[in-house]
Amino acid sequence: MYRPPYHKRPIRHLFRGGTNANKNTAETVHRRENTHLSTPHEEPGCHGARIADTADAGLPSLLSGAPKTTATTTGTSDGLVMRCRHPPVYRPLLDLSTMEERHIIVTYRLDRATIQELCAQLEPDLMSAICHPTGIPPLVQVLSVLNFLASGSFQTTVAIASGMSQPLFSNVLSRVLSALLKHMRSYIVFPQVDDLPTVKGDFYALGHIPNIIGAIDGTHVALVPPRRSEQVYRNRKSCHWMNVQMVCLADQYISHVNAKFPGSVNDAYILRNSSIPYVMGQLQRNRVWLIGDSGYPNLSLLLTPVRNPRTRAEERYNEAHGRTRRVIEHTFGLLKARFRCLHMTGVSLYYSPKKVCQIIVACCMLHNLALRRQVPFLQEDGPDAGLVAAVETVDSEEEEAEDEDVDN
């Protein structure tokens, strides 16, 4: 004789003392998928049948004093008791109103007003998440991503602090990066013709070299390479990096970034295959140049130092060149100290090269936003107090080693 499973049997088989008055309700079949409701109390052996269901149906409860569910119940013409499932409500753990201004800057690298302005700009692209049953408010999405970029931690740690799961934070990260990159041209802008006098004056104040509109150099960002092309991302130190080319102004504002080349590619190759030669070609009538180290070739758009100075004039030129070009090293140090996900002391980026490129560009955009809004760089008191100087020293040592390899 066939005996149906427990979850397909009528409720009258599960209780004693059923009456004819409760026959219609007791014979209603409650399937497992319709019994996952808000109350955690279940009758042992009922396979999903709720004690609250028996109380609503007029059947005796096996446990006295069992709490009734708070879900709404409605009756139908055939005696079926239907339960309306309430949608989950997200209770955010991140609230700027309860945080001090210094703590906000240390945690998110931006002040309160700048974060609110950024959320207002990205809100049209992030509002689609609200329609999802597990939707996250746009402010919480932006705060969680800012914390991830600033701390350089794993997704699980940031997700717990933000009150969400790791898979959900992974989707939030992709959504915020995509929304932020849509505004890249408004955050990273190369100097235009009207801006050239001011830019040249700022660079002249650094080392007294005229007609300089940018300092160019490359820096490395660690990542976990793809297995099929692991050797492409290995540099001369047998480490896996992305080689990122940047151009900055005298006030450390990043005016150009190219983060799509692996670590095995040198700076000169990246320069030849970037948009810099075309952009500088449009400005050559104004007699302007970029300034770079000896790792770059001698080009009409670039000033490099004299490798073997023989006269006092060449030595003075190299000294002025070093004072002017030093601003790009300071920019790298400030960028990696502000966003620890780019620094070698943090964990390597466990993402595809395409997403690593998005993270790097997003950090450069937020760096320019912080400079534009004059947000100070603050960090917690501790062993990381000299992080900016340490980053600058490491980058300088890497560039000196590269210069020696080029000379040899």
How does DSSP assign 249-313, residue by residue? -TTS-EEEEEEEEETTS-HHHHHHTSSHHHHHHHTGGG--EEE--TTS---TTEE---SS--SHH
Give the tens place of pLDDT for each residue, 264-299: 999 999 999 999 999 999 998 889 999 999 999 988
Specify the pLDDT at position 96: 85
Model confidence over 74-86: pLDDT tens digits?
555 555 566 666 6
Q: Give Cβ neighbours of residue 228 (< 8 Å, ≥ 6 apart).
A: none
> 244 by DSSP, 3-state: which?
strand
pTM of the model: 0.73
Sign of the torsion formed by the C-alpha atoms of 372, 249, 184 and 370: negative
Q: Is 216 helix (H, G, I), strand (E, B) or coil?
A: strand
Q: What is the DSSP letter of 199?
A: H
State the pLDDT at residue 376.
Answer: 94
Mean pLDDT per 10-residue segment, the chain (408 residues): 54 46 42 40 40 37 39 55 61 77 94 95 81 72 95 91 89 94 95 94 95 96 91 87 96 96 93 94 90 91 93 95 96 96 83 95 97 90 47 50 45
- Confidence at residue 17, expressed as pLDDT on a 0 to 100 scale: 46
d(CA 266, CA 236): 10
What is the share, in percent, of the chain residues with pLDDT greater than 90?
Answer: 55
Long-range contacts of 370-375 (CB under 8 A, 24+ apart): 370/109, 370/110, 370/114, 370/338, 371/251, 371/252, 371/253, 372/253, 373/110, 373/111, 373/113, 373/114, 375/105, 375/109, 375/110, 375/111, 375/114
**Cβ-Cβ contacts under 8 Å for 118 (sequence gap 6 or more):** 110, 142, 369
* Beta strand 289-291 pairing with 212-222: parallel
- Helix (H) or strand (E) holding 326, with range, is helix 312-338
CA angle 79, 81, 82 (to 5 degrees): 130
Residue 199 in tokens: 């830019």
> Strand 302-303 to strand 289-291: parallel, antiparallel, or no bridges (unpaired)?
parallel
Two tokens, residue 387: 């992080």
* d(C-alpha 340, C-alpha 210), whole Å: 35
User: How much is the pLDDT for 2?
Assistant: 58
**DSSP bridge partners of 218:** 245
Q: How many helices (H) and strands (E) does the chain have?
A: 14, 7
Q: What is the pLDDT of residue 285?
A: 85
Q: Phi/psi class of residue 260: alpha, beta or left (left: φ > 0; alpha: ψ in -120 to 50)?
A: alpha
